[in-house]
Amino acid sequence: MEDQYRPQTIEAEAQAYWQEHETFRAREEDPRPKYYCLSMFPYPSGRLHMGHVRNYTIGDVVSRYKRMQGYNVLQPMGWDAFGLPAENAAMEREVPPARWTRENIAAMTEQLKGLGFGYDWSRELATCDPDYYRWEQWLFTRLYRKGLVYRDTAAVNWDPVDQTVLANEQVIDGRGWRSGAPVERREIPQWFLRITDYADELLDALDRLEGWPEQVRNMQRNWIGRSEGVELSFELAGRDEQLTVFTTRPDTLYGVTYMGLAPEHPISLELAERNPAIAELVAEARAGGTAEADLATREKRGADTGLEAVHPLTGERIPVWVANFVLMEYGSGAVMAVPAHDQRDWEFATAYGLPIRPVIQPADGSSAPIDEGAFAEYGVLIDSGPFTGMPSAEAFTAIAERLESEGRGQRRTQYRLRDWGVSRQRYWGAPIPMIHCEQCGPVPVPDDQLPVRLPEDVAIRPGGGSPLKTMPAFYETTCPDCGGAAQRETDTFDTFMESSWYFARFACADQEHAMLDGRADQWTPVDQYIGGIEHAVLHLLYARFYHKVLRDEGLVSSDEPFTRLLTQGMVLKDGAKMSKSKGNTVDPQALVDRFGADTVRLFTMFAAPPDQSLEWSDSGVEGAYRFLRRLHALVRDHVARGPAPGLDADALSETQRDLRRKVHETIAKASDDIGKRFTFNTAIAAVMELCNALGKAQEDDSDGGRAVMQEGLETAVLILAPIAPHLCHHLYFQLGHETPVVDAAWPQADEQALIRDQVELVVQVNGKLRGHVTLPADAGEDQAREAALAEANVQRFVADKTIRKVVFVPGKLINVVAQ
RNA sequence: GCCGGGAUGGCGGAAUUGGUAGACGCGCUCGACUCAAAAUCGAGUGGCCAUCGGCCGUGUGGGUUCGAGUCCCACUCCCGGCACCA
């Protein structure tokens, strides 16, 4: 065995071994229970960053651990290869996005292999390959025919100088990132997927996703934002028109004192032509864009329209105002304002001197103070005609029923979630498989003409927009229905389309004749999914939606794609997120080159639990390296003494038994930490403790001592095998095994070895630590009490007091309560 | 504003069910080895007082309990998400 720990040699050998033996190839015919472990696939930006290393190390540790537990593990890897950075790079370096992307994939593949991740590379996929996106196009045309796809207008950020659409992240302080011109909002036609059809299922199923962090489930609940209420109509006096509003508080209906219209409401727009005050509000709403920080701090402003609405129950005339706090995008763009019981309505009413009429009082009969703000809680109705005296909940139903019976309203469920706009006015994405025909309208591309290939040999020019729009060879086509001249859609898909089903495609990446086959149902759902919290809502919601769509198409049979989810924390340096702009990045490759992949993996797993943020520390990395070197030396020195004799547990000395107990305690703790709690840091700490203890026992050259040493070192190697797989691969062979550690079984704690015949009890007086006593493990309370009171230090504290009670916790402590 | 999560030595963190606070690692101090340094190995390392040992200590203030980092109430600050959502 080499005298020195040389990670470069050891790691190259281990990786060559895995490759040669196809160690990580997952096979469908394997009879063991399947375990699908997936880390979120990366965008091929060119180089791995620390966030990737952390994410993929966690996934690899889980995969290797599950493999040792006897599962047939699938751990694939691929590339989320479409997206904006490739277009930006194309402009900067004059290289086509396709080439840039494929070069990055090649480079990053090498990095991943160098880190020793156990991926089944035979299933590798890149979403920019036509063999991949053709099936997404295929599904889209099916969903179109099914009615789950529709076309509507939606606002985009338009750069008037570059004549192009900008992504939100390309808009900086309301200006185009390249041109610096103020960005305009433009309404253009786009394709939508009816995710709202699945809103209820997406929401309700969250309750059953017990393997997901509560935080993520909550974020999705808020995002979907279901609210139950009543939709009702107010007649407009003197106009042949009604104002429809949604309210979650029909019980406050008698407190309506004005109506609020969004500035972009059709009525507001119409009145703006004659009314300068309204026109100003409209202009402000348009200019403000979507900058939420402005909105939140914006002062409540409005203008009287002069119109009057008629209260549906009392017939009272109510003024209609245009109000800048009413959103056109939510509900109907109009609200009934109840200033006594809604804070926003209250602020607006106060600003413009509108009446505030309380109709709810607290259930205890006190009167709610509405001078300082609205009373927004439930209570009992007052001054509400026939509903006076009812509790809010009862009034909700009664008023809703009254409105329904009069045909003036109905109960309704409203969602914050909107349909998913999947059109992007970009080049580097999957072409949307639709054809626009003047005669037939939009027509889906027939299956036998799929895929619609994205031309890859293109030049991207600044300010030129998507090259597809200027490529007749791409967009000129004939209508599949009437055969006349027609134009292809030149927009491409949102890249979330590709990442919404890749997990299923990994199961059957080589399938040429279908989107998915039976293997997809065999491997999915993903048992453990690992990725960044930044995908808590969009990616994870879209993927859940897509999975249900795939299910309804008969392609998979499960309801949810990801059984368990682990969201890893950020990697920080000097307390801040690593980023190029802050200049605090650490290049993983430089560390791998210097210390080896095992050290980088070990430190990453040791420095913090996976869901917390990880503070980078160069000296911590060196500490991890030192530990691996010590482990290497321990095995080297042990092996140098020749093969260890067999273990005779009954013949061990007390010291040897103590050490062996430590070995098995470590197994028990590490199994719990890695298998159940996912706290890899504490499992590593336990192994470090074990190694410290083994190091102190090195002089024991007896048969028993050497046998326990062998068992201890094997244990350390087995537990660390998922975390530092290369070194453990090497050491396991050195310890005399003929099969690789990657195929070894996870160690089991020996209950017999865990038994203690002596226990140390903590002795407290009035809850304060005053000493320790060592007793036989089966000692009872009387014996413990006697021993505790015999302690000199305990005597000092109870001498002049009366013992009132003794608390005994077997195996733990004895507390003498004295006064 | 609302919804999550958090605050523990000089630093990262541990304490799983209310039972020895600070495991493990980093850093630091001292010692061994060395001409010297690095590396390595050994010892120590929450603060204060001290002879055994004691007092204080887990963001702040209160409470429950024989016993609280852990449970309850009120609050401060930090991080993440959402937000005039009717």
pLDDT band at residue A114, thresholds of 50, 70 and 90? very high
Q: Cβ-count burial of A42 within 10 angstroms (0-12 exposed, 13-18 middle, 19+ buried)? A: buried
What does the pLDDT read at residue A339? 92
Smallest CA–C1' separation from A760, nucleotide:
B20
Q: Å from A675 (CA) to B47 (C1')?
A: 39
Q: Cβ-count burial of A65 within 10 angstroms (0-12 exposed, 13-18 middle, 19+ buried)? A: buried
Under 8 Å between Cβ of A350 and A367: no
Compute the residue count for chain A.
Answer: 819
Angle at A718 between CA A642 and CA A666, to 5 degrees: 100
A122 touches strand B (CB under 7 A): no
A449 touches strand B (CB under 7 A): no
What does A521-567 look like in DSSP terms, one character per residue? Answer: HHHPSEEEEEEEGGGTTHHHHHHHHHHHHHHHTTS---S-SEEEEEE
What does the pLDDT read at residue A539? 92
A295 touches strand B (CB under 7 A): yes
Under 8 Å between Cβ of A565 and A220: no
pLDDT band at residue A376, thresholds of 50, 70 and 90? confident
Across the range A194-223, mean pLDDT stands at: 90
Mean pLDDT over the full length of chain A: 91
Q: Quick check: helix, strand or coil at residue A506?
A: helix
Give me the A residues in range 262-291 that sit within 7 A (CB) of strand B: 262
A793 touches strand B (CB under 7 A): yes
Give the Cα separation of A237 and A266 in Å (integer). 17
Per-residue pLDDT tens digits for A753-769: 999 888 888 999 988 89
Q: Are strands A434-437 and A423-424 parallel, antiparallel or unpaired?
A: unpaired
User: Which string of b and e fits A555-565 if b means at least 16 CB within 10 Å?
Assistant: bbebebbbbbb
Q: Å from A371 (CA) to B75 (C1')?
A: 26
Across the range A682-703, mean pLDDT stands at: 94
Q: What is the pTM of this model?
A: 0.93
What does the pLDDT read at residue A298? 64
pLDDT band at residue A577, thresholds of 50, 70 and 90? confident
A783 touches strand B (CB under 7 A): no
A496 touches strand B (CB under 7 A): no
Residue nearest to nucleotide B24 (CA to C1'): A685
Is the pLDDT at A288 greater than 70? The verdict is no
Under 8 Å between Cβ of A264 and A244: no
Which positions ≥6 away from A773 have C-beta within 8 Å? A760, A761, A763, A784, A787, A788, A790, A791, A814
Smallest CA–C1' separation from A325, nucleotide:
B84
Q: Å from A559 (CA) to B78 (C1')?
A: 38
Amino acid at A200: D
Q: Å from A808 (CA) to B44 (C1')?
A: 35
Q: Å from A50 (CA) to B6 (C1')?
A: 23
Smallest CA–C1' separation from A689, nucleotide:
B24
Amino acid at A174: G
A298 touches strand B (CB under 7 A): yes
Give me the A residues in range 641-680 that sit within 7 A (CB) of strand B: 669, 672-673, 677, 679
What does the pLDDT read at residue A622? 95
A418 touches strand B (CB under 7 A): no
Residue A811 burial (CB count, 10 A): 14
Per-residue pLDDT tens digits for A705-754: 999 999 999 999 999 999 999 999 999 999 999 999 999 999 999 999 99
Of the candidate ranges A17-31, A132-146, A754-768, the one whose mean pLDDT is the lowest: A754-768
A440 touches strand B (CB under 7 A): no
Per-residue pLDDT tens digits for A316-374: 999 999 998 888 888 888 999 999 998 889 989 999 999 999 999 887 777 777 777 88
Q: ipTM of this model? A: 0.95
Hey, what are A480's tokens?
């599949």
What does the pLDDT read at residue A579? 75
Among candidate residues A288, A328, A283, the one with its CA nearest the CA of residue A303: A283
What secondary structure letter does DSSP report for A79? B
Give the Cα separation of A527 and A207 in Å (integer). 17
Residue nearest to nucleotide B65 (CA to C1'): A767
Give the Cα separation of A340 and A333 in Å (integer). 21
> How far apart, in Å, are the Cα atoms of A149 and each of A187, A432, A802?
19, 12, 82
A770 touches strand B (CB under 7 A): yes
A239 touches strand B (CB under 7 A): no
Of the candidate ranges A253-262, A567-576, A647-656, the one whose mean pLDDT is the lowest: A567-576
Top pLDDT among A187 and A353 is at: A353
- Which alpha helices (DSSP H) does A741-780 contain, by range? 751-754
Is the pLDDT at A291 greater than 60? The verdict is no
Phi and psi, residue A442, nearest 5°: -70, 130
A99 touches strand B (CB under 7 A): no
Of the candidate ranges A226-240, A436-450, A506-520, the one whose mean pLDDT is the lowest: A226-240
Q: Å from A654 (CA) to B49 (C1')?
A: 40
Give me the A residues in range 702-761 that sit within 7 A (CB) of strand B: 760
Q: Quick check: helix, strand or coil at residue A243?
A: strand
Hey, what are A2's tokens?
């080499």
Across the range A681-700, mean pLDDT stands at: 95
A325 touches strand B (CB under 7 A): yes
What does the pLDDT read at residue A169? 64
Under 8 Å between Cβ of A71 and A83: no
Hey, what are A638's tokens?
């042990």
Per-residue pLDDT tens digits for A487-514: 999 999 999 999 999 999 999 999 999 9
A247 touches strand B (CB under 7 A): yes
What does the pLDDT read at residue A294? 47
Q: Å from A489 (CA) to B37 (C1')?
A: 71
- H or E element that contains A360: strand A360-361
Is the pLDDT at A171 greater than 80? The verdict is no
Across the range A663-677, mean pLDDT stands at: 95
A622 touches strand B (CB under 7 A): yes
Top pLDDT among A543 and A800 is at: A543
- Tell me which nucleotides of strand B come within 7 A of a protein CB: 3-5, 11-16, 19-21, 23-27, 39-42, 53-55, 66-68, 80-86
Q: Quick check: helix, strand or coil at residue A228?
A: strand
Smallest CA–C1' separation from A342, nucleotide:
B86
Give me the A residues in range 528-557 that sit within 7 A (CB) of strand B: 533-534, 536-537
Give me the A residues in range 623-642 that sit within 7 A (CB) of strand B: 623-624, 626-627, 629-630
Give the Cα separation of A748 and A434 in Å (integer). 58
Cis check: omega of the bond before A451, within 30 degrees of 0: yes
pLDDT band at residue A296, thresholds of 50, 70 and 90? very low
Across the range A564-591, mean pLDDT stands at: 85
Smallest CA–C1' separation from A330, nucleotide:
B85
Give the Cα separation of A299 and A125 in Å (integer). 51
Q: Å from A618 (CA) to B11 (C1')?
A: 12
Tokens 């209250």, residue located: A346
Smallest CA–C1' separation from A813, nucleotide:
B19
Per-residue pLDDT tens digits for A456-470: 988 888 777 789 999
Angle at A19 between CA A15 and CA A20, to 5 degrees: 115
Q: Quick check: helix, strand or coil at residue A388?
A: coil
